[in-house]
Structure 1
Amino acid sequence: MANKFTEDAKSLLSAVGGKENIAAVSHCATRMRFVLNDADLANEKEIESIPSVKGMFTQAGQFQVIIGNEVAQFYNEFSAVSGIEGVSKDAAKVTAKQNMNWLQRAIAVLAEIFSPLIPAIIVGGLILGFRNILEQVPFDALGGQTIVEVSQFWHGVNAFLWLPGEAIFHFLPVGITWSIAKKMGTTQILGIVLGITLVSPQLLNAYGVAGTAAADIPFWDFGFIQINMVGYQAQVIPAMLAGFMLSYLEKFFRKIIPEAISMIFVPFFALIPTILAAHVILGPIGWRIGSVISDAVNAGLTSSVNWLFGAVFGFLYAPLVITGLHHMTNAIDLQLVADIGSTNLWPMIALSNIAQGSAVLAIIFAHRGNKKEEQVSIPAMISCYLGVTEPAMFGINLKYVYPFLAAMIGSAIAGMYVTLMGVTAKTIGVGGLPGIISIKDGYGHFAIAMAMTIVIPFVLTLAFRKFGVLNKMDTVME
């Protein structure tokens, strides 16, 4: 008996160029992921007409077809009708690199390092955002005091929540070095150990270095040389440099050390030199690189032309998501938080999320009654307002183009406003509407900017549609 996806699976197989054009195929929670030998053979119009398909896009060398929550059943039927054995997502990523240039590969590596950390960063952002409300925001109803100043219960909750908050952000180097070891296919526990040596309680906490006189910084004394015992809490680049050195040393020694004794000597010769290099060379260099980057970004956001910086960043953030370059902002945000205690970028990122969702909301309104599209547009809009924009951008906004532009303009105006008003976030975490809990300075101004990113993209999307701005693909429904 034919599966309900049989005909659609056959159509998709034909539309992507047949079995011979598929180098690898896998699936994730909602999408079929193809690595195609020749992407030009994929017939996008034909694919879009398949009933089960809700959208498509190309990213990181993979041609991705949005199916929805039933993608697992579709994938099984596709495998049956095509005779193609699927591969894991990691194997598909490796194969996909044949379609990437050096820059795309570098971006893919950065994405693969931070992607496993995102759930923890989101949770950490929520926790620190909630703590921010408890301990930093005075309420008129409480006589100008904060919640923790008037409630012992919430004072205790606030203190308790610092435990996971510190674990996620102060000990972030542990997650980074583990993630690099995982991505490089080397021993993950060694990555964890390396990370711990960067944030050990034995070391002077990174946050205390600036306030400590040089003569009071502890050190290891080897007689002929002294090495400062400085920690790298919340530092991103030192952890990345150390993590990659560990992985490359482990791979090198596995090649030259006999297998019979490799379990003893490979970890030793990989780990100990890396720890030494991390504290003597890589850590200080990485710290300096990170500081230069954060200082440059902060200088742009606090200069006399900061309004232009904010407008440009707000306008270009969504295109950065398409390329994958937005993963670099995670490192910059975290570096800013580590160096100056807040970030100017995260408020603009959260606003860009909202803007993309508002553009989709306008499409839902304009195309009301299109039940098939609403299966994509409504969940995509909700996802945007909660901080995840890819379904909206690839499923709706880029399909029609003009909603994407409307969202970019709305994001630019809001980005310019929050930059001029000095809005900062205490940390990163959940974007979109919940992003307001992470705001450190300028709650009211951020709320106004949120209203901008709801109204402006919505109005511009409908206006662009009405006056024919970049909307040749739109099927006008009068």
Structure 2
Amino acid sequence: MSVKETAQEVLKKIGGSKNVESVTHCVTRLRFVLRDFSLPNKEEVASIDGVISVIEQGGQYQVVIGNKVSEVYDEVLKELDGSDPTDKIESKAHHKSLFDKFTAMISGIFMPVMGAMAGSGMIKGVLAILTITNLLSEESGTYIILYGLSNAFFYFMPVILGASAAKYFKMDIFVGAVLGAALIYPTFIPFASEGELSFLGISVNMMDYTSTVFPVIVAVWFASKVNMIAEKFMPKDLKFLLVPAIVLLISVPVTLIVIGPIITLLSNVLADAVNAIYNFSPALAGAVIGGPWILMVMFGLHWAFIPIFIANMASQGYDPMMGLLLANQFAMAGATIAVGIKTKNDKLKALSLSTGVTTLFGISEPALYGVLLPNKKPLIAAIIGGSFGGVIAGIANTVQYSFGGSGLLGIPLIINTSGIDNGFYGGIASQIVGFIVGFALTYTWGFKEKSTVDSDDYSGNNTLLNTKINVNDILSGEVVALSEVPDKVFSEGLMGQGLAVIPNDGKVYAPFDGVVTMIFPTKHAIGLTSSDGIELLIHVGVDTVELNGVGFKSFVASDQKISKGDLLLEIDLAVLKQSNFQIITPILITNPDKFSKVSHENNNLILAN
């Protein structure tokens, strides 16, 4: 499928161009804000050729594409340009928590400018290398120009973020830029240290807002509310001239007098709290944040830290927390490459080795969502590797002096302009340790090749058979191949080998004597272990975890002993169907490596010694 066809299919499956409120993209994913989040079928979108995965987080519908994301994005924009932007559809409320709204706002404002910020940071890193190696003098005109170029983004950040925030809050972007420019107007800055200004007799506690984040974002949000009121009451013929004037006349003084000082104070308190945790024990902070940062990125929680990192760089010239994160990319790369080396599956081998290499250069999402997450244990290994590396970075007091790339591209960013120091060597060591731990844990513990299920493998020689499980003894319904499940994690056998049932009865029974090893709080999945060591997973439906237990009733608990024929679960299939969830239920042997052969015949799973 071509990138154009992929873009067209994505738009079609998410509800069409009329359902798109906005779209941006990062290194590997399209990030949609939809008018109606209930329209897309997650499984259908994820099954499109060219789509790796679908994630809903932070108020965004994220379609993971991989290396061709920019090409698909361009085609999406072409398709959207053909739609009438005034043709609205009635949208349903998409309920989000306050934190989700905050992360959606931060990501929506920062994502369009991340490229310019990362590029500026990389130039800073290269300049540090050139000056340390004496290839370029700080007194030379070349250095001065390149330094100004690399620092321009950060110095004028309120202007750039003002424009981006205005776009996010649906206001004239140039008014947002002017508001940001007013905060750092050269005449104002000296008063931040020399004395107070007054406006209409009101004292202004002037501050230096260069390189700041939150003051301008809150200011533009306030300005958008003023703009909305002004647009509503201003005569149409006067809007073009008077609305921007009114917005600026009200917003700039209010920001300088009220918003700026308050938000700056709160930002400093937040930054001080984060730094206090680091200062308590850099090594402990490295262990706690270094590896789990992978999970924070998965759930979009990392956006909450970006303004803190920027504030540290503005006030200190560096950020200590980012130095703890150097190892997690290498740990993911190590774990992914280990899978590629160990697997005999040609498709998984090619995916693992290629995405493992790209992860070394900071492009980790294809590896994360295509290899690590589906196999689980390699993801755990990567997290452990990232934490071990974080400890090394914490002990060495590794810090980062600018924003930019990650992985190998992050190395220039930890170079102190005063010269190579222990922090630099510690950062390199942390990456090496992260890679080695991630690789070693995955190769020795985190990945075992799964047996292939094939009905043709069944020899019919019952003397070789240890156990036969009829899946209809577990769940009544139509038995189908695992490949019919519209979820790659199950259909490609990444979770285990087995069959699937399209149920006509919502009762789930135990197929053998054993114990309940796991039952999800949402009751949509249950794990069993038989008395002779068979590990079985019953996963009712696809993505039914999102129902939070609605429509499910369990009759057993974790660690409870069971006998063959015991009722385990009862599912209201009507609830699942009404909520547009697939009811097809994978039934998997999750430890096929314990048997010489796992096969199936008719409705039976057959496990041979």
TM-score, with normalisation over the residues of structure 1? 0.78
1:202 aligns with 2:187: yes
Matches of 1:297 and 1:223 in 2, distance apart? 38
* Correspondences of 1:22-421 after superposition (within 5 Å): 42-43=42-43, 52-53=49-50, 55-60=52-57, 61-62=60-61, 64=63, 66=65, 69=68, 98=94, 100-135=96-131, 137=132, 147=134, 152=137, 155-204=140-189, 212=193, 217-221=194-198, 224-303=201-280, 305-367=281-343, 370-371=346-347, 374=350, 376-421=351-396
Matches of 1:270 and 1:366 in 2, distance apart? 62
Change over 3 Å in CA distance of 1:241–1:433 after alignment to 2 = same
Matches of 2:429 and 2:413 in 1, distance apart? 16
1:422 aligned partner = 397
Matches of 1:115 and 1:11 in 2, distance apart? 24
Matches of 2:11 and 2:327 in 1, distance apart? 39
Shift, 1:102, TM fit: 4.2
Matches of 2:403 and 2:92 in 1, distance apart? 30
Match of 1:465 among 446, 449, 454: 446
Q: Is the 8 A contact 1:356 1:407 kept in 2?
A: yes
Shift, 1:133, TM fit: 2.5
Which deviates the most, 261-270 or 34-43?
34-43
Matches of 1:286 and 1:254 in 2, distance apart? 27
What amino acid does structure 2 have at the position aligned with 1:56? S
Unaligned runs of 5+ in 1: 138-145
Matches of 1:11 and 1:156 in 2, distance apart? 52
SS of equivalent to 1:423: coil
Matches of 1:317 and 1:33 in 2, distance apart? 20
Q: Is the 8 A contact 2:28 2:363 kept in 1?
A: no
What amino acid does structure 2 have at the position aligned with 1:298? N
Matches of 1:277 and 1:8 in 2, distance apart? 47
Q: Is the 8 A contact 2:355 2:364 kept in 1?
A: yes
1:431 aligns with 2:406: yes
Q: Is the 8 A contact 1:200 1:231 kept in 2?
A: no
SS of equivalent to 2:305: helix
What amino acid does structure 2 have at the position aligned with 1:106? F
Matches of 1:10 and 1:189 in 2, distance apart? 32
Number of residue equivalences: 443
Shift, 1:464, TM fit: 2.5
TM-score, with normalisation over the residues of structure 2? 0.63
Q: Is the 8 A contact 1:362 1:459 kept in 2?
A: yes
Q: Is the 8 A contact 1:171 1:234 kept in 2?
A: yes
Q: Is the 8 A contact 2:28 2:69 kept in 1?
A: yes
Matches of 1:228 and 1:381 in 2, distance apart? 51
Q: Is the 8 A contact 1:291 1:339 kept in 2?
A: no
Q: Deviations over 1:378-414 (max 9, x none)?
A: 4533432222322221222112112211111111111
Matches of 2:349 and 2:91 in 1, distance apart? 32
User: Which structure is larger by alpha-carbon Rg, 1 or 2?
Assistant: 2
Change over 3 Å in CA distance of 1:13–1:286 after alignment to 2 = closer
What amino acid does structure 2 have at the position aligned with 1:332? I
Matches of 1:279 and 1:70 in 2, distance apart? 41
SS of equivalent to 2:54: strand
Q: Deviations over 1:185-216 (max 9, x none)?
A: 2111111111111112213269xx5xx5xxxx
What amino acid does structure 1 have at the position aligned with 2:238? I
Change over 3 Å in CA distance of 1:416–1:96 after alignment to 2 = farther
Matches of 2:196 and 2:73 in 1, distance apart? 60
Change over 3 Å in CA distance of 1:461–1:107 after alignment to 2 = same
Matches of 2:389 and 2:84 in 1, distance apart? 40
Q: Is the 8 A contact 1:350 1:433 kept in 2?
A: no
% same residue: 23
Shift, 1:6, TM fit: 13
Shift, 1:132, TM fit: 2.4
Matches of 2:247 and 2:122 in 1, distance apart? 37
Q: Is the 8 A contact 2:51 2:63 kept in 1?
A: no
What amino acid does structure 2 have at the position aligned with 1:462? Y
What amino acid does structure 1 have at the position aligned with 2:495? M
Change over 3 Å in CA distance of 1:205–1:147 after alignment to 2 = farther
Shift, 1:289, TM fit: 1.4
Matches of 1:385 and 1:164 in 2, distance apart? 27
What amino acid does structure 2 have at the position aligned with 1:174? V
Q: Is the 8 A contact 1:97 1:105 kept in 2?
A: no
What amino acid does structure 2 have at the position aligned with 1:404? L
Judging by fraction of residues, say which structure has more helix. Answer: 1
Matches of 1:290 and 1:473 in 2, distance apart? 44
The higher-RCO structure (CA 8 Å, 6+ apart) is 1
Cα RMSD, aligned residues only: 4.4
Matches of 1:334 and 1:467 in 2, distance apart? 42
Matches of 2:386 and 2:201 in 1, distance apart? 57
Shift, 1:288, TM fit: 1.1
Shift, 1:253, TM fit: 1.1
Change over 3 Å in CA distance of 1:156–1:254 after alignment to 2 = same
What amino acid does structure 1 have at the position aligned with 2:366? P
Q: Is the 8 A contact 1:54 1:68 kept in 2?
A: no
Shift, 1:377, TM fit: 3.8
What amino acid does structure 2 have at the position aligned with 1:147? N
Q: Deviations over 1:293-316 (max 9, x none)?
A: 11111111111x332222111122
Matches of 2:6 and 2:200 in 1, distance apart? 73
Matches of 1:70 and 1:118 in 2, distance apart? 15
Q: Deviations over 1:242-295 (max 9, x none)?
A: 121112211121112221222222111111221112211111112111211111
Q: Deviations over 1:425-477 (max 9, x none)?
A: 11221111121111135111111111012111111111233569999627899
Q: Is the 8 A contact 1:177 1:243 kept in 2?
A: yes
Match of 1:445 among 414, 426, 435: 426
2:569 aligned partner = none
Q: Deviations over 1:119-154 (max 9, x none)?
A: 11101111221222334x4xxxxxxxx616xx5598
Shift, 1:343, TM fit: 0.4
Change over 3 Å in CA distance of 1:76–1:356 after alignment to 2 = same
